[in-house]
Structure 1
Amino acid sequence: MAVISRRTEPTPIRRPARSRALGLAAVFMLGALVAGGLVFAATRPSSTEQIADRLRAEDALRDKAQIKALTELARTTRDRLVPVLEGLGRVMPVDGTAGPAVVTPADVARWRQAAATAVDGFADPPSGETATNIARSSLASAVRQIATTVDTYAASRGLTGQIRTTVMDLAVRQRAAALFTWSVGATALDAVNVDAGYGHQHVFLPASPGDGALTPDPEPEGTHES
Structure 2
Amino acid sequence: MSALGNRSQEVATINRPRRPAPPRPATRGRVLALAFAFAFALGALVAGGVVFGVTRPSSIEQAADRLRAESALRDRTQIRTLTELARGTRTRLLPVLDGLALALPGDGPAGPVAVTAADVEKWRQAAAAAVQGFADPPSGETATNVARSSLASAARQFATTVDTYTMARDLTGPARAAALDLAARQRADALFTWSIGATALDAVNIDAGYGHQHVFLPTSPGEGALTPDTEPEGSHQP
User: TM-score with structure 1 length normalisation?
Assistant: 0.89
The residue type paired with residue 18 of structure 2 is E
Alignment-derived partner of residue 152 in structure 1: 164
For residue 33 of structure 1, report the CA deviation from its aligned partner. Answer: 1.2
Instruction: Indicate the residue corresponding to 1:54 in structure 2.
Output: 66
Higher mean alpha-carbon deviation, 56-65 vs 108-117, is at: 56-65
Q: Does 1:162 align with 2:174?
A: yes
Which of 100, 108, 126 is the equivalent residue of 2:138? 126
Secondary structure of the equivalent of 1:29? Answer: helix
**Contact 1:156–1:167 (CA<8 Å) still a contact in 2?**
yes
Distance in 2, matches of 1:51 and 1:209, equals 50
Matching of residue 36 in structure 1 with residue 48 in structure 2: yes
**Residues 30-109 of structure 1: matches in 2 within 5 Å?**
30-95=42-107, 98-99=110-111, 102-109=114-121
Question: 1:188 matched to which residue of 2?
Answer: 200
**CA displacement at 1:177 relative to structure 2:** 0.4
Partner of residue 227 from structure 2, selected from 215, 221, 226: 215
Identity of counterpart residues, as a percentage?
68
- Deviations along 1:161-182, one digit per CA (max 9) or x if unpaired, are 2222111111111100000000
Task: Spell out, residue by residue over 1:37-69, the C-alpha distance to the aligned partner (whole angstroms, 9 max, x if none).
Answer: 011111112222222222222221121111111
Q: What do you get for the CA RMSD once the two structures are aligned?
A: 2.3
Confirm or deny: 8 A CA contact 1:94 1:210 kept in the other structure: no
Q: Which residue number in structure 1 is paired with residue 213 of structure 2?
A: 201
SS in 2 for 1:128: coil
The answer on whether the counterparts of 2:102 and 2:112 sit within 8 Å (CA) in structure 1 is yes
Aligned to 2:126: 114
Runs of 4+ that moved beyond 6 A: 16-20
Letter in 2 for 1:9: R
The 3 A distance-change label for structure 1 pair 96 and 170 is farther
1:9 matched to which residue of 2?
Answer: 18
Q: Give unpaired runs (5+ residues) of structure 2.
A: none
Of 181, 185, 188, the match for 1:173: 185
Bigger CA radius of gyration: 2
Instruction: Assess if the C-alpha contact under 8 Å between 1:149 and 1:174 holds in 2.
Output: yes
- Residue 101 of structure 1 deviates from its aligned partner by 6.7
Task: Output the CA distance in 1 between the equivalents of 2:43 and 2:199.
Answer: 58
Question: TM-score, with normalisation over the residues of structure 2?
Answer: 0.85
CA distance in 1, matches of 2:121, 2:96: 11
- 8 Å contact from structure 1 (residues 139, 181) kept in 2: yes
Q: CA deviation at 1:92?
A: 2.1
The Cα offsets for residues 165-213 of structure 1, whole Å up to 9 and x where unpaired, read as 1111111111000000000111111111112222211110111122211
**Is contact 2:192–2:225 with CA below 8 Å preserved after alignment?**
yes
For the residues of structure 1 that align with 2:110 and 2:209, how far apart are their CA atoms?
45
Q: Which runs of 5+ in 1 are unaligned?
A: none
Equivalent pair of 2:191/2:217 in contact (CA under 8 Å): yes
C-alpha separation in 2, matches of 1:39 and 1:109: 71
